[in-house]
A and B are shown apart, each in its own frame.
Chain A
Amino acid sequence: MALMRLVRARATASLFTGGFLLTRCWVLVAIAAVACGSPRSPASPVSSAVIDDFGDTIGVAQATRIVSLNPTSTEILYALGAGPKLVGRGQYDLWPDTAKRLPDLGPGIRPNVEALIAARPDLVLLYASSDNRPAARQLRGAGIRTAAFRVDSIAQFERLARLLGRLVGDSAGGALLADTVRRTLDSVRALTRQLSRPRVVLPTWEQPLIVIGGGSFLSELVTIAGGENVYDSLPSPSPTVTFEDVVRQDPDAVLLGPERGALIRLNPRWRALRAVRNGRVLIMDTSRVLRPAVRLGEGAVSLALLLHPELARR
């Protein structure tokens, strides 16, 4: 029974992934049409304006030439089938594969404003880091609609999905994307509710020792997947901690990416941890849990399977 639900969760999760996004779009459209009971009207006028995370008001007129300098918004736009409207991306926006073919406009933090203007966009999407304020000011000065959003948590992802849906004239698609991810996460949560909750630590860097804190979506994802991040109470997304404190926390497992995994196995000091001595070093599929974006559901499923391998056996 549990496995059936997991498989179902996986199916919903993978709805937004894989190579043939365009095909998936049609699936989306079909679902949306059923869900809404009537065909969507793409150009439906939306009156209320949007306030971005710099506190600026963004018009909601449809965008046709978009530069996305934020990997999450790039992913969302492709999932919404709005990939053809993109005219540029940030240097690290490499998913889906199609995105790699877009012009690389350089760093997403402190971007080269002249390169952005040269792409002649009618909408630029930035990450709302304070280093991006000067760029936002200059772009608005050039008469280019510019919106900056923080995407650090699952809730912020959902908000952005709905919002981008509106900005590309596909509110239903945006809402559907947000709801689908939410439903997948809910089913993973329901699935792991009755299980024991292993306490885990998620190191991301060794010198200094940086771990995932409560401010990161990854901490939320671990909770959903039936675990508990020992540093969930720290508000920062990536706090620096002492090794001694990690030992004191005595986690049941160490959760990390493949390249860090090798480091920890080679460094004898980690053997001070009971989890490491017991071989509980769990390697995450980092491509799925890299950022709070379209593949959140998939990430939750893969984390749940990692923390609770018995789910696959049942």
Chain B
Amino acid sequence: MTVSRWMGLGAAVLVAALAGIALGTMGLSVSESWVALAGRGDPTNIFVVRELRLPRVLLAALVGAGLGLSGAALQGVLRNPLAEPYLLGVSGGAAVGAVIAVSAGLAIALVPVAAFAGAVGAVALALFVAHATHGRGDPRVLIMAGVVVGAFANAAIMIMMANADAATVRGALWWMMGSVADATWTQIWSLAAYVLVGGVALAAFGRTLDALSLGEESAAGLGIEVDRAARIVYLTASLVAAATVAAAGLVGFVGLVVPHIARRLGARGHRVLLAASALTGAFLVILADVVARIAMPPAELPLGAVTAALGVPFFLITLRRLA
């Protein structure tokens, strides 16, 4: 990837973030938003910019970066362009956890914890199934196991929702559509830790992923413990995705589409791809959140639907150019 492409990507993220800080229901001008961001002027404006908009932008960026990283790593380790955290049971497991928490009437603060536990549980189950059936982490078996665990999770959700009261259904549905509207600083810091540590860990396996893309035998020939490396990458990517889901619910399509856009931008080699995917993901989700809140004021659109609506055209253009 050329330097100018990197700078363009960075500038796009920055512009999206500035739009996220300047745009909203409360019609502040750009200069008013800037003054408020600096902590000066009208206290209400300061609150709106620093405690409502800024956390949203940061959380959206982290969710996008996390899903982008996770998608890029999973596509690499499973050698499958359709691989993404949601396909592998992360979303299904997280949704089961969240729906159980919502219908049990648990405190709203416990829903993310339950979602995280559900996601980790589903990933562990998929790994267990894959290993039990094949003895080792064959990527095809792993993908099938993930899809099946996801289908099981869907069934569990439908059974729970069928007889739930209206408030539970609404709460669960809202969560499944994804949102960064309720962003808190605690969420931001904990997700930042996951994305940062996860990102560094995945980048450390960048060369391994590059070798894996040549095929398992070649990688083994290069002295790589393929099984162990694949398991670590798979688990790390799933954990990062689970953390994003716990913070913002299900934000669909990002994990799948972002690595492809990053490759299209010229990212070659997994370290570069991971970094470019993180930036692209951050850009896409910040932009989607801005659209979600300014498209139909004072109502908001579901973030997960907007990311898909924005991501699909990008993806189709990418495919067209590839063909």
User: Using a CB–CB distance below 8 Å, which chain A residues touch chain B?
Assistant: 91, 104-107, 109-115, 117-118, 120, 129-131, 133-134, 138, 141-143, 208, 236-240
Which of B44, B48, B165, B166: most chain A Cβ within 10 A? B165
Question: Do residues B25 and A237 form an inter-chain contact, with CB atoms below 8 A?
Answer: no
What number of A-B contacts does a CB cutoff of 8 Å give?
76
A106 B47 Cβ-Cβ under 8 A: no
A207 vs chain B, min Cβ distance (A): 12
A178 → B minimal CB distance (Å): 26
Known: A142-B48, A237-B165. 6 other contacts (CB 8 A): A107-B299, A117-B47, A117-B52, A129-B170, A142-B44, A238-B166
Verify if B174 is at the interface (C-beta below 8 Å from A).
yes
Distance in angstroms between the alpha carbons of A111 and B25 in the assembled complex? 12
B298 beta carbon closer than 8 Å to chain A: yes
Q: Which residues of B contact A236 (CB under 8 A)?
A: 165
Contact A133 B108 (CB under 8 A): yes
Select which of A131, A134, A142 is within 8 A of B51 by beta carbon: A142
Contact residues, B231-255 vs A (CB, 8 A):
none
A237 to chain B: closest residue by CB: B165
Count chain B residues whose beta carbon lies closer than 8 angstroms to a beta carbon of A: 29
From A88, which residue of chain B is reached at the shortest CB distance? Answer: B298
Main secondary structure of the interface of A (DSSP, over half): loop
Distance in Å from the Cβ of A50 to the closest Cβ of chain B?
22
**Of all chain B residues, which has the CB nearest A213?**
B165
Residues of A within 8 A of B105 (CB): 130
B47 touches A141 (CB 8 A): yes
The complex places the Cα of A240 from the Cα of B293 at a distance, in Å, of 34
Is B108 a contact of A130 with CB atoms below 8 Å?
A: yes
Is the beta-carbon distance between A114 and B166 smaller than 8 angstroms? no
Of the candidates A104, A110, A118, the one whose C-beta lies within 8 Å of that of B25 is A118
Query: Closest approach, in angstroms, between the C-beta of B164 and any C-beta of chain A?
Result: 9
A51 to B27, CA, bound (A): 34
Contact: A106 with B51, CB < 8 Å?
Answer: no
In the complex, what's the smallest C-beta–C-beta distance from A38 to chain B, in angstroms?
40
In contact, B167 and A106 (Cβ under 8 angstroms): no
Contacts of B162 in A (CB 8 A): 208, 240
